[in-house]
Structure 1
Amino acid sequence: MNKSLVRRVLAFTLLSLFSLTLSAAEKTLLVYGDSLSAAYGLTDLNRGWVHLLQQRIDQHQYPWKVLNVSISGETTSGGLSRYQKTLEQTKPDLVLLELGANDGLQGKPLKTLKSNLEQMIILTREYNADLMLFEMMIPPNYGPVYTRRFTETFHELGKKYDVPVIPFFLNGVAGDELLNQPDGIHPTEDAQPILLENVWQTLEHSVRQKTN
């Protein structure tokens, strides 16, 4: 079974499991990302920042259910291919779109990256949901022009579509050997609370505002 099919089977399974709990929540927050949001490499997936986000929301007694359909290795092309069905099944009120890192690490054309993200933004609005876009960065060894233009792409889309952009959520983690797994890319369990705080600084206002 090829990797693409495995990812889609996994996504379908996750959606099926999550759909059982949707009725209990007033609002749905969909996390749509890659390994950085899928708790890759952690022995306990409940230690990932997305699970910690649900705990934070519950502590504040916000009536939100967090659904995490992130898949390790996902690119914007793969994400786009399953996005409409995901929106149909989950009917989110807010989407956290955390994709693009794998495109950059694979040196994908920036036009493709931008087009895929743009189509997902448009689809999100067609389903009457709000969206927040994650700023992504890649190592400088990809060349100064590509590296700079890669990150600028997220801000250009944010400005064009008036979409909030969450600043690079690996700040304070990226490059720190103590907070990254041996591959130097994926955060450790100890890093997850930092990722949560980086996201929460931008997200909390929207969650609170949409709750009222």
Structure 2
Amino acid sequence: MRIKQLSRFIVLGLWIVLVGTRCDKEKPRAETQTSAPSILFLGDSLTAGLGLEKFQAAPALIEEMIHEKGWNLRVINGGVSGDTTAGGLSRLEWYLRKENRIQYVVVGLGANDGMRGLSIDAMKTNLKKIIEQIRSFDSKITIFLYEMHTFPSMGPQYANKFHQAFPDVARETDVILVPFPLKGVAGIESLNQDDGIHPTAEGTKIYARNVWNTLEPVLARDMGKAPSSEE
């Protein structure tokens, strides 16, 4: 009996040691994942990647481009399908935490405001409040703003005012405007899902590249070029 009990204690002791060792090894990995500075994509279904796998969403594709450059920057996908500028404003605070180490924010909101025919003035106010809240949290954060379009069916007066709202907000708040990210995708049946609104995986690659064309020069300025294989 004593031998059996001793054997059980030995096995239990080994199990505890193994589990403890595993935990010790995993902790640094978790710290490494969260210690890198980040870029937050605050948006709607276009950011969330509606109808796509997580790795196919635009923020994930942009994160791959960042890693290909060798830059130490992780991506936070803050996309919520159906979200408006008011919704984005209401949940922004959740992301603005010191542990997220946010250095960049890409604001991709407004499309749903337009689809619902909501007040453009209210949308602009919400976007300005989002930008103001980000700067109140950390004035060093670089902010990008998507230029969004709406459907002509909303009427030419509304559509034109909507289109102009984004460059106006970017100019008035001194943020970086990302030209219409769905250029070359919107209206092309083969690059959009059955709803005719959300891009397919192939369409999202073009969308992500459009965004990257604006992000890359800024990131390169801040982080420097990726080291070559010879270095």
Percent identity between the two aligned chains: 38
Q: 1:87: Cα distance to partner?
A: 1.1
Aligned-residue CA RMSD (Å): 1.6
User: For residue 191 of structure 2, what is the aligned residue in structure 1?
Assistant: 179
User: For residue 71 of structure 2, what is the aligned residue in structure 1?
Assistant: 62
CA distance in 1, matches of 2:69, 2:187: 32
Structure 2 residue runs of 5 or longer lacking an equivalent are: 1-29, 225-231
User: For residue 148 of structure 2, what is the aligned residue in structure 1?
Assistant: 136
CA distance in 1, matches of 2:158, 2:33: 42
CA distance in 2, matches of 1:73, 1:168: 19
CA distance in 1, matches of 2:42, 2:31: 15
Larger Rg: 2
CA distance in 1, matches of 2:162, 2:38: 30
Query: Following superposition of structure 1 onto structure 2, how do residues 119-198 of structure 1 map, counting pairs within 5 Å?
Result: 119-128=129-138, 129-198=141-210
CA distance in 1, matches of 2:134, 2:32: 22
CA distance in 2, matches of 1:180, 1:193: 12
Query: Following superposition of structure 1 onto structure 2, how do residues 1-212 of structure 1 map, counting pairs within 5 Å?
Result: 21-23=33-35, 25=36, 27-42=37-52, 44-88=53-97, 90-128=100-138, 129-212=141-224
CA distance in 1, matches of 2:46, 2:215: 17
Q: 1:19: Cα distance to partner?
A: 9.3
Q: Which amino acid aligns with 2:134?
A: T
CA distance in 2, matches of 1:21, 1:99: 27
Q: 1:20: Cα distance to partner?
A: 8.6
Q: 1:193: Cα distance to partner?
A: 1.2
Structure 1 residue runs of 5 or longer lacking an equivalent are: 1-17
Q: State TM-score, norm by structure 2.
A: 0.80
Cα deviation, 1:25-72, whole Å, max 9, x if unaligned, reads 1x2100111000111011x22112211111110000011111111111
The runs of at least 4 aligned residues of structure 1 exceeding 2 Å deviation read 18-21, 88-91
- More displaced stretch, 178-187 vs 88-97: 88-97
